[in-house]
Amino acid sequence: MMHDTQKAAEATFLLLDWYDRHHRDLPWRVSPPMARKGAVADPYHVWLSEVMLQQTTVQAVRAYFNKFLKLWPTIDDLAAADAEDVMKAWAGLGYYARARNLKKCAEAVAGEHGGHFPNTEEGLKALPGIGDYTAAAIAAIAFNRRSAVLDGNVERVISRLHAIETPLPAAKPEMRARVLALTPEDRPGDFAQAMMDLGATICTPKRPACSLCPFRSSCLALATADPETFPRKAEKKQKPLRLGAAFVAIDNSNAVYLQKRADTGLLGGMTEVPGTGWTARRDGETSIYAQPFAARWEHCGAITHVFTHFELRLSVYRANVQRAETGANGWWEPIASLKAQALPTVMKKAIAQAIPNAFKAERS
């Protein structure tokens, strides 16, 4: 195993040399050529991208990142934004607690730190929504701190490089120590991004391009086993299935009845159609008798949506109503402007099941 300091330094040199030539150009990144011309990373851009990239692909994040910067160019702009506008802009990225914490973090940085992010892992972790990984990434990439940055791509690279047999998540402490041992003092941010890029483009989950990898001569998984079997993972538990219902009401002006969810809990603060009280731990009512108000409801099928810890199946009902019939709190939103609302994907699925062309313009 690569305990030797010289071997570690050689591996790091090879990786950074590869990164200088093959880095990805990303809208939030200061690339090596940009850095040579004097550009420095913007902590706001690094933080925003890292929060968005949690559980989300680079391809999906690009458009959202650019949209957020156009709406709120600085951390102070985001801090001053209306929370509902932030949720609307976030809609579709999923994991909506991130959006709530994004707003809280912006307010903390603007209000308590003069608009400047703390430049240490400890200071960053004191901010809302920033955990170990995000703090390490910001510290390394934005402030050039020597931090062990460990995301899914890096876990895959380091587990294969050292053929780490311990399954995740128990292997994380060893992985973090291995990554820190390789991280150089002079370019820790580039090293972190190089590991991410290597995992995303070469050391991929399936069919890794080992012949192109800068670590190929020292990779223990390549030498002794099948790299695709790393990282080792504990057996997954089957996700429980939860049941519920969604009620899509349409009035005579072609508007849909919407309401806002409670600010706390799953999908907190997001927009929804009326439904039943399902949660990650219990089912909601599924029958037509759970209707939110009297109308001629018709069953129009069911949709399924997978959350992190459970699968949800919603029976979808539709009714054409007069606005005066509802008598409930909420608002009527024209179908043409539904895509501008803070609707999570599960609610878009329910609406589309009842109104097949509701988001046609958005998909085209």
CA distance 43 to 49: 10
The phi, psi pair for 312, rounded to 5°, reads -120, 135
Q: Which residues pair with 242 in a beta bridge?
A: 312
Sorted by sequence, the CB contacts under 8 Å of residue 364 that are 6+ apart come out as: none
Query: Amino acid identity of 79?
Result: A
Q: What pLDDT sits at residue 16?
A: 97
Name the burial class of residue 328, with classes exposed (0-12), middle (13-18) and buried (19+) by CB atoms within 10 angstroms of its CB. Answer: exposed
Quickly list H helices, 211-340. 220-224
Contact criterion met (CB below 8 Å) for 138 and 43: yes
CA distance 346 to 269: 14
Residue carrying the six token digits 């009035």:
251
For every one of its 364 residues, what pLDDT tens digit does the chain have, with 9 covering 90 and above?
445 678 888 999 999 999 999 999 999 999 999 999 999 999 999 999 999 998 888 999 999 999 999 999 999 999 999 998 999 999 888 878 889 999 999 999 999 999 999 999 999 999 999 999 999 999 999 999 999 999 999 999 999 999 999 999 999 999 999 999 999 999 999 999 999 999 999 999 999 999 999 999 999 999 988 999 999 998 888 899 999 999 999 998 999 999 988 888 888 888 999 999 999 999 999 999 999 988 999 999 999 999 988 999 999 999 999 876 555 568 999 999 998 888 999 999 999 999 998 887 544 3
Query: 2-229, what's its fold?
Result: Endonuclease III; domain 1 (1.10.340)
Domains in the chain: boundaries: 2-229, 241-354
**CATH number for the domain formed by residue range(s) 241-354:** 3.90.79.10
Determine the straight-line distance between the first and last CA of the chain, rounded to whole angstroms: 52
Contact criterion met (CB below 8 Å) for 55 and 134: no
**DSSP label of 233:** B
Q: Which residues pair with 168 in a beta bridge?
A: 233
Q: What pLDDT sits at residue 4?
A: 67
Which has the closest alpha carbon to 318: 331, 305, 299? 299
Catalytic residues: 50
